[in-house]
Amino acid sequence: MNGTSQLGEFLQARRSQLRPEDIGMPTYGERRRVSGLRREELALLAGVSVSYYTRLEQGQSLNASPEVLDAIAGALRLDEAERLHLHDLARPERQRGRGRRPAPERVTDAARQLLDALADVPAVVIGRRSDVLAWNRLGHALFAGHLEPDAAESPARRPNMARLVFLDAHTRELYADWPSKAKAVVGNLRLVAGQYPQDSALHTLVGELSAKSPDFASMWADHRVKDCTVAAYEMRHPLVGSLTVTQQTLSHGPGPNVVVATAAAGSPSRAALDLLSQAIDRPATAAVTPAPTSAPEGRGAQVSPG
């Protein structure tokens, strides 16, 4: 999974997904042997020669200027996250400064302080490969209450959110719109793969998920990328029923990020989170009455994939 091969695969995949009618290009009823745009059509849209664009797709040119990359991004109708991903893939290894093996990830003091401050909000510390490095009690209860609370403390037992989403039945059932969550997870891993092409642990994770999950393999082949920052998801929690939460990624500098889940004050979903907090504070033998399972406010409202 080096940058050169990723660049060619990304360009080919995105070109094949862009149809002539998407850009107002007439086809005059001709039978086309390729899905999506032809190389010469994309090159014309980007204002570059066909031979040069072909070399890019074949990984034979690693010196594309930012202006050329932006022109290709425009021709492919890429959004901002996808445009930056294209620049990452086209950057030579010597310029990336990431040839060294990435250092082991750890929870920073700042992240632990943030977890402490967010005691009443579900919060999880996530590494770049989606490893769960730490969580507070509500974060554990909301996202992975079926796992041991101390699982995140041991590197050998540490949960991985991508594995949970694709390989764990409890997590799959947790999301009412599972495909949306799954695509966001894959899109984020694609971004990381472009930023850290030498990360062998990431390669292993992608290989494992591709082998064990046809859904992951199919989504990975699409080369879609997503910057997971804010998104609303309807969740079906076994203890408190249906609720809609906004998952937000809080970036506080280099290192792992903190993901929090919030609900609007006074909403049924906020009441469900409060009930979840009460439930995990009760003795194990105490009965818990789930919240109503009727559709919560904002059902299906996607703020942004993540």
Q: Residues 84-136: pLDDT tens digits? A: 999 989 887 645 544 456 677 888 888 888 898 998 999 999 999 999 999 99
Averaged pLDDT of the chain: 85
Give 255 or 135, the one with higher predicted confidence. Answer: 135
Q: Is the pLDDT of residue 19 over 50?
A: yes
Distance (Å, whole) CA 23 – CA 25: 6
**CA atoms within a 13 Å half-sphere pointing along the CA-CB vector of 13:** 17
Whether residue 247 sits in one domain with residue 125: yes
* Residue 302 falls inside a structural domain: no
Q: Is the pLDDT of residue 286 over 90?
A: no
Q: How many domains does the chain have?
A: 2
* Residue 87 falls inside a structural domain: yes
* Residue 126 falls inside a structural domain: yes
Q: Is the pLDDT of residue 34 over 80?
A: no
Whether residue 87 sits in one domain with residue 25: yes
State which residues form the domain around 56.
3-96
* Residue 157 falls inside a structural domain: yes
Q: Rounded to two decimals, what is the model's pTM?
A: 0.81
**Confidence band for 146, pLDDT divided at 50, 70 and 90:** very high
* Residue 102 falls inside a structural domain: no
Whether residue 122 sits in one domain with residue 24: no
How far lies 68's CA from each of 65, 75, 294, in Å? Answer: 5, 11, 51
CATH code for the domain in which residue 39 is found: 1.10.260.40
**Average of pLDDT values for 50-70?**
88
Domain end (from 63, 96, 129): 96
Whether residue 137 sits in one domain with residue 208: yes
Mean pLDDT lowest among 5-14, 29-38, 64-73 = 29-38
Whether residue 184 sits in one domain with residue 154: yes
**Average of pLDDT values for 62-76?**
91
Q: Which of 132, 165, 148, 11 is nearest to 73 (CA)?
A: 11
